[in-house]
Structure 1
Amino acid sequence: MTIFGTTLDTMAVFSLISMLTLLVYWMFVLREEKRWLSWFRGWEADRKARRLAEEDATNAPASGQTSSKKGPWG
């Protein structure tokens, strides 16, 4: 077999097919990794939102008044 003026023997064809197969495999791996990372970021954001909502519910004043303290140092 000749491609671009180069004769390819059996080993060259096999290595070319192997490299293309490996490239396709890593494309699937990368796609699944991105999908998992996206799921994890969403899960982490939901967990943080639930935790903050629970903290706000437990720290809310009983009379319904909002606290005048704002910011991280009160």
Structure 2
Amino acid sequence: MVTVEDIGKRVEDDEGRVGILRDVIPDYEDPAELPWRRRKQPIAFLGPEQGGREWLVPPGHVERLETQA
């Protein structure tokens, strides 16, 4: 699981997608949902390493990749 301390680090989600952790919001509400269907949930924002469309994943489904020396 990732935390705010991992922001800016390389991470991998459960589907094998690798990216950079952009943010972790513990009480995110999806603005695309109708107001009465919104619920607060923890969400991690990940961005592709080479740029592109960001994706959202629960933080428990993301692991930090260790850097090799």
- TM-score, normalised with respect to structure 1: 0.19
Higher fraction of helix: 1
Task: Report which structure shows greater RCO (CA 8 Å, sep ≥6).
Answer: 2
TM-score by length of 2: 0.19
Considering fraction of residues, name the structure with more strand: 2
Larger Rg belongs to:
1
